[in-house]
Amino acid sequence: MTVLQGVSVLVTRPVHQAEKLSQLIEAAGGVAVKFPTIEIARLSDSEAQPIATVNELTYDWLIFISANAVTMHGYYSDSDRIKKFKSVRIAAMGKSTELVLQKAGYVVDLVAKNGASTEDLLAMPELLQVKNQRILIIRGQGGREELANVLQLRGASVDYLDVYKRIVPNIDNSNLIGLLKKHCLDIITITSAEALQNLLSMVGESFKQHLLEVPLVVVSHRIRIIAAEIGFKRIAVAVSPSDMAILDTVIMSVKRGECGRSE
């Protein structure tokens, strides 16, 4: 018997990013319940217009916040020009973003060694001394401000380039509601605070308490704090946002009996 035999795990990643984690869960004997709580969408023509005026080559650093930032940036910008311009350094927020950048043909100069959070990247020596440097943060609309704020305090000039937006998916929640009613959902996986807030909204106030009873696996201590403030009691933190790290944490939660099951 595999370790996740019969365990139902909610996968809340966007549709195009959910398949690998779902496959890992099912290979371990579990049931992957796909319920995307964020949809990555292209910007409208009016929203994307300012992108055409940004010249990335005038910056010392380009910081890609996520794999989605890499993918969506390619829709709007002259990526080949950046790849050939050696004076522009590229930083990735975590290993998964680094991998997508490398697959796209970029040379990655900096990635956080000990995690994939803003704080992990800011701790890297290369970003401690950035006085008078120009930095472009490539992200989705409405991201955290912490990275830019700290870099500005360190003397850098920081701009944003928003290349996508996150929206709440319009999907049927009846399967998830049914699992919650029957207490058949064993673990929830969450990779961002926004995904967690959207999940609560998509389920509705009537079933919020049902959600709070389910063990939660998150990918950062910041999300853990937010989840605890919402009312979740059983929260485990994966060492990174990678699919394998999330799976390992799900398995550890099952082994500890946090979802009412054991080996």
What tens digit of pLDDT does each residue of 131-175 get?
Answer: 999 999 999 988 788 999 999 999 999 999 999 999 999 999 999
Task: For the chain, give every domain's residue range.
Answer: 8-38+169-255, 45-166
The answer to whether 154 and 130 are in contact (CB under 8 A) is yes
Scanning the structure block, which residue is given the tokens 């709580």? Answer: 37
At residue 228 the predicted structure's pLDDT band, cuts being 50, 70 and 90, is: very high
pLDDT reported for residue 263: 39
**H/E stretch holding 18:** none
pLDDT reported for residue 55: 86
How far apart, in whole angstroms, are the C-alpha atoms of residue 82 and residue 84?
5
Give per-residue pLDDT as tens, 76-100: 776 777 777 778 999 999 888 999 9
Scanning the structure block, which residue is given the tokens 């956080």? Answer: 112
The answer to whether 136 and 165 are in contact (CB under 8 A) is no
List CB contacts of 173: < 8 A, sequence separation 6 or more: 35, 202, 203, 204
| pTM as predicted | 0.82
Query: CATH topology of 8-38+169-255 equal to that of 45-166?
Result: yes
How far is the CA of 205 from the CAs of 33, 110, 180, 227, in angstroms? 21, 42, 13, 16
How far is the CA of 186 from the CAs of 6, 8, 32, 207, in angstroms? 9, 5, 11, 15
Specify whether domain 45-166 bears CATH 3.40.1410.10: no
Sheet arrangement for strand 89-92: 39-41, 157-167, 134-140, 61-64, 89-92, 110-111
CATH architecture for segment(s) 8-38+169-255: 3-Layer(aba) Sandwich (3.40)
Q: Tokens for 110, please give them.
A: 């900096």
